[in-house]
Each structure stands twice: as C-alpha cells, then as structure tokens.
Amino acid sequence: MSSFAIATEPLSISTNEAVASEARLGLSAKPKTLSPWLFYDEAGSHLFEQITELPEYYLTRTERGIFTDHAEEIIREAAASRGPHPVGKLTLIELGAGTATKTGILLREAVRQQGSIVYQPVDVSETALAEASENILRNIPGVSVRPQVTDYTREGLPLDRLPNTRTLALYIGSSIGNFKPEEATSVLRNLRAQLLPGDTLLLGTDLVPGKHKDESNLLAAYNDAAGVTAAFNLNVLTRLNRELGADFEVNSFRHKVLWSAAASRIEMHLESQYAQRVQIPANGLPAFNIDFAKGETIHTENSYKFTTGAVIRLLASADFLLTKAWYDSRRLFAVTLATAI
Ligand code: AVI
C-alpha cells in the first residue's frame, strides 16, 4: 500500500485494497460487474435499512410475520432435533446478523421455552453488532450475547461452539439469494462444517412469482417509487469516487432492474447514459481507464428467487435435510428449517 492511499484513505488498508481490486477486476470484465458487498459502506447500510421499510419491499416484513406466527413451532422443532450425541440447551448463531431486528422474536421465544439462551451474531460490521447486542441485552432478559466480527463469506466461519448444546444457525433475510448457486452451496457447506449432525439451519428465502406475486411486484420491490433502491445502487459509484479517487459522474448512470425467469433472479445494473471514459487513479502508476458505450451496464447485484424444490436441492447440496417450511398466506416468502446430516 502506497503512502498516497494511506494519506487519503481513512479506512483500513485491507478494506481499501479489497475495494481497489474488486473495482479493477470487475470493471475490466465483460460484461462489467461490481460485487454487492461494495454496497454496504455507512451510507449504503443506512439506505438498506430504509429499503427494508419501503412499502414495495415486502421481504423483511413478510419474513418477520412468519417468525411472529410460527416462532413457537420453529424453536420447538429446532430444540427437538436429535443427532448422535445427547445435548442440552439450544444456542443460536446468526450469519450476517446486522442489527438483528427480526431475531428478537425467536430469542424471546427461546427464552420462554428454555429459560435462557446464548446468541452468537456474526457480521462484518462491528457497529451493527454493537447495536444488536445493546438492543437485545436491554430488551430481552435471559439472552447472553457473544458477537463475532467476521466476514463469513471470505474468511470462513470459525465458530466458538459451546459444549453440550444444540446449535440453531440462522441465515435469514434472503441473504443467501445474493449468491450464485455454486457460491450459495459453498457458504452453506462452510456453515455445515461447523455444525454437528442434528444441529439445524433456519433459512429465509424469497420465492419466485406465483399466484399472488407477479413479476411487477418483484420488480417494484427493487425499483421503488421513492428512489431509495436507485440511491442504494448508485451509492456504489460514490463509494469508488471517495475511496479510490475515481471520477464517476454518478448522475450519468441509471438504476436498472430486470427479472430473468431463466436464471430465476432479479438483476440490478447501472446503465451508462452516454459513451464515456472513467478514470481510477492507480497509486502512482498510469490511471486505470474504463470505457463505457452508451447503454452499457455494470451488473451490481443478483437476487435469486426460489421454488420449494430449489430450496431443498440447495440444502441437500450442503448436507442439510428439510425438517419443515413455513410460508406467509400469499406465498411470497419461505422460512425453512433443515437438519445437518
Ligand atoms: C440483502 N439482500 C437480501 C437484499 C435483496 O433483496 O437481495 C439486497 C437488496 N438489493 C436491493 N434491495 C435490497
């Protein structure tokens, strides 16, 4: 890392290097891509919180509704799950916990059923974990919180496993949907490697269009009338300008969303409104030039939507067996409990 980057970059060196190499690799690829983890700087995380409350973005409130309606059964099933080893209480770990707003429903129910619970939220964001811990400790007596700052997608998942407990791992919020199928399998396999037979996984997945959900509902969830999702998508260019000194003219790109039925995914893109060249300084070397044709896009995110069969196949690819699935009445979203085999 050069003194140029250290002098101008307030973030950690490794974060800056990861952003630089992601930008260089993704923007020289054909078609151009940027990885969705780049969305989540401070402004992007704040915009995402706003997205979860938008009228069009049904995912968060639908999953919360499923937890509210079925928490008793979810916790009972997870606690009753049997493996080859005798175990005591249930402990909860959560991948990508963020501020853990929905998890409180399950934690409260677990405390009601077994008196107390250990909760291990895992996330890349130390501030989000601090907020989650504070909220839970203040509002739910009986929970002992052991936060762990880890990027489980890149650094694996070194879980601090408690002896003689049964683990319920939460991977909710449709986060698994932001991975390509082979990446999703590897995230779940990494998780599975930390679990024992009989431990369980609770997976939240958004569903493909159906009777009560047409393509337009799905598209609206990613292209809301207030423009919050557009701002979330465009913020990635603002981030590259700020952190790498790039000269993206942010207003010359347009938020674009499409549904690919063939790939079963929503795609988010940023479309260049005219032919242009963007430069990213390269630490004393000649700047990295990126040429855009009019209408050319940067593919910034995939959000996969599932059938029940696709969820079962994904779980099986990581050695999990379906225990039970819960849905909302309109079949917009699924919460699936699976057992490690
Ligand atoms: C975090 N993830 C599950 C969101 C999703 O729905 O794929 C990210 C998002 N992108 C646009 N809106 C929300």
- Residue indicated by tokens 């050319």: 296
The predicted pLDDT at position 153 comes to 76
CA gap 160, 138 in Å, rounded:
24
pLDDT at 5 > cutoff 50: no
The per-residue pLDDT for 2 is 31
CA distances from 138 to 104, 133, 141, 144, 217 (A): 11, 8, 7, 11, 37
DSSP string for residues in 174-186: TGGGGS-HHHHHH
d(CA 203, CA 179): 14
Q: Counting Cβ atoms within 10 Å, is residue 214 exposed (0-12), middle (13-18) or buried (19+)?
A: exposed
* Cα separations in angstroms, 100 against 150, 228, 299: 15, 21, 28
Average pLDDT for 13-39: 91
Antiparallel, parallel or unpaired: β 297-304 and 32-33: parallel
Check pocket membership of 60 for ligand 1, CB cut-off 6 A.
no
> Cα(58) to centroid of ligand 1, in Å?
11
274 Rama class: left (phi>0) / alpha (psi -120 to 50) / beta? beta
**Which of 65-79, 115-129, 157-171 is most confident?**
65-79
Residue 222 near ligand 1, beta carbon < 6 Å:
yes
If you average pLDDT over each of 127-141, 274-288, 306-320, which comes out highest?
A: 306-320
Least Cα distance to 292 among 316, 274, 308, 319 occurs for 274
pLDDT at 6: 29
Tokens of 29: 């690829």
User: How far, in Å, are 19, 32, 244, 277, 297 from residue 287 at the CA level?
Assistant: 16, 18, 11, 12, 21
Looking at every residue in the chain, the average pLDDT score rounds to: 92
pLDDT digits (tens, 9 = 90+) for 118-141: 999 998 888 889 999 999 999 999
Percent of the chain with pLDDT over 70: 95
One-letter amino acid identity for 16? N
Which of 174, 258, 270 for a ligand 1 pocket mutation test, highest count of atoms within 8 Å of Cβ? 174
Q: Which residues pair with 143 in a beta bridge?
A: 117
Would the CB of 174 count as within 6 Å of ligand 1? Answer: yes
51 lines ligand 1 (CB under 6 A): yes
- What pLDDT score was predicted for residue 14? 64
Proportion of the chain above pLDDT 90, given as a percent: 82
Nearest one of 255, 253, 251 to 224, comparing CA atoms: 255
d(CA 325, CA 98): 24
The answer on pLDDT for 330 being more than 70 is yes
Determine the pLDDT at residue 9. 34
Q: Cα-Cα-Cα-Cα dihedral of 273, 259, 304, 235, to 10°?
A: 20
Q: Whose CA is nearest to atom 7 of ligand 1?
A: 303
pLDDT digits (tens, 9 = 90+) for 198-230: 999 999 999 999 998 999 999 999 999 999 999
